[in-house]
């Protein structure tokens, strides 16, 4: 159940990655930053007393703005999209720290009774105090940082209500997106991904498409980041780390599972992929050590998995299969010779 909940939120993020990487075919690396931005904005909004649904909407809007900036840098200044994404991601790291007012911001669940005290205030000295003489100083008392407890929309009881909430958000996003992709501008977007020059020949501005695609993609990523932060109960500066890779792995996983079945223009496959990816990840963490995996090997495994899947797919198309057979035969005969 917990895996399903988190998998769905990650799947939503993967949906954003799917839109940028697959539908408009722009490898966008803003994701790490916009996910963290969504998380930071959502928690900051909740802490300042806004209702949860506004917090999540704000997260989504901020993600959208980040995406549109990447798109604008990419098209206006003719910067490679990878570089534009990295630049915006880097900027967002600093911005997120500003938004949170520090590296870590929890959704208040207990009321702080006393501000944090220094070691000396708590222990009453260190045993070296007699050394200092004239250097003895008194540090002032800090003001109390208290906030009211805020009722989180997620109750974390695994009773299905969190799952329902996440599912509802995802259903709404998928519905809106599939309606949009059916409309004329949506069609242009999809066509651009498969044949850019064809669409440009029709007189559609490439700038508009790139910016629109990245805006939509990152608004979904921001939304997912906001949901994730509220679901986890805190936001951290490093919360977005590795999200692009996770998203890509989920997209690929979804494509393996659903193959050519394109329900809602393939929008469901990254979500399913996210859930399966999360399940595999937790299985690998749980039982991986029995076959000698260390927790620190996970990143290597994820990357190797993505490469393997892409590589296998390349080999299995057209004359690829023959190549594999030949390769296997060659290896086999080599091994015989060496024996």
- Binding interface with another protein (CB under 8 A): 1-3, 5-6, 10, 93, 97, 102-104, 106-120, 122-129, 131-132, 135-140, 142, 145, 156, 158, 228, 231-234, 236-239, 241-243, 246, 278, 281-282, 285-286, 295-296, 298-299
- Nearer residue to another protein within complex by CB, 126 or 318: 126
Distance CA 274, CA 318 (A): 29
Q: Using DSSP, state whether 19 is helix, strand or coil.
A: helix
Residue closer to another protein, measured from CB, 259 or 292: 292
CB of 226 to another protein, least distance (A): 14
CB of 98 to another protein, least distance (A): 10
For residues 43 and 225, the answer to whether their CB atoms sit within 8 Å is: no
Q: Which of 76, 98, 44, 64 is nearest to 235 (CA)?
A: 44
CB of 279 vs another protein, minimal distance in Å: 10
CB of 212 to another protein, least distance (A): 28
User: Tokens 């993967």 identify what position?
Assistant: 14
| Least spacing, CB of residue 109 vs another protein, in Å | 6
Q: Helix, strand or coil for residue 318? A: coil
In the chain, the DSSP E strands lie at 104-106, 234-236
CB closer to another protein out of 32 and 255: 32
The total of other beta-carbon atoms located within 10 Å of residue 280's CB is: 17
Positive or negative torsion for Cα 16, 19, 22, 26: negative
The residue (of 124 and 259) whose beta carbon lies closer to another protein is 124
In angstroms, the CA 148 to CA 112 distance is: 9
Based on CB atoms, which residue is closest to another protein, 77 or 132?
132
């Amino acid at each position: 159940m917990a895996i399903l909940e988190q998998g769905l939120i990650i799947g939503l993020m993967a949906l954003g990655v799917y839109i940028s990487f697959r539908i408009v075919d722009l490898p966008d690396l803003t994701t790490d930053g916009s996910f963290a931005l969504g998380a930071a904005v959502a928690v900051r909004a909740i802490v300042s007393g806004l209702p949860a649904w506004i917090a999540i909407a704000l997260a989504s809007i901020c993600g959208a703005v980040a995406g549109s900036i990447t798109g604008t840098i990419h098209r206006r200044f003719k910067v490679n999209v990878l570089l534009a994404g990295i630049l915006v991601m880097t900027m967002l790291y600093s911005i997120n720290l500003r938004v949170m007012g520090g590296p870590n911001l929890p959704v208040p669940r207990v009321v702080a009774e006393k501000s944090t005290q220094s070691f000396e205030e708590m222990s009453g000295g260190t045993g070296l105090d007699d050394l200092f003489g004239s250097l003895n100083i008194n540090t002032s008392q800090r003001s109390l940082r208290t906030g009211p407890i805020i009722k989180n929309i997620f109750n974390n009881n695994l009773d299905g209500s969190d799952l329902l909430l996440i599912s509802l958000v995802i259903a709404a996003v998928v519905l809106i997106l599939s309606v949009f992709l059916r409309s004329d501008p949506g069609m242009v977007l999809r066509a651009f991904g498969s044949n850019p020059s064809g669409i440009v020949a029709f007189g559609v501005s490439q700038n508009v498409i790139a910016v629109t695609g990245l805006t939509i993609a990152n608004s979904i990523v921001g939304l997912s980041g906001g949901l994730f932060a509220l679901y986890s109960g805190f936001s951290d500066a490093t919360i977005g780390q590795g999200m692009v890779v996770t998203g890509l792995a989920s997209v690929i996983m979804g494509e393996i599972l659903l193959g050519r079945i394109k329900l809602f223009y393939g929008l469901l496959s990254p979500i399913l992929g996210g859930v399966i990816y999360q399940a595999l990840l937790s299985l690998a963490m749980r039982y991986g050590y029995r076959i000698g995996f260390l927790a620190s090997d996970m990143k290597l495994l994820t990357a190797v998995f993505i490469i393997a899947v892409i590589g296998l797919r390349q080999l299995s198309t057209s004359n690829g299969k023959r190549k594999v057979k030949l390769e296997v035969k060659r290896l086999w005969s080599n091994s015989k010779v060496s024996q």
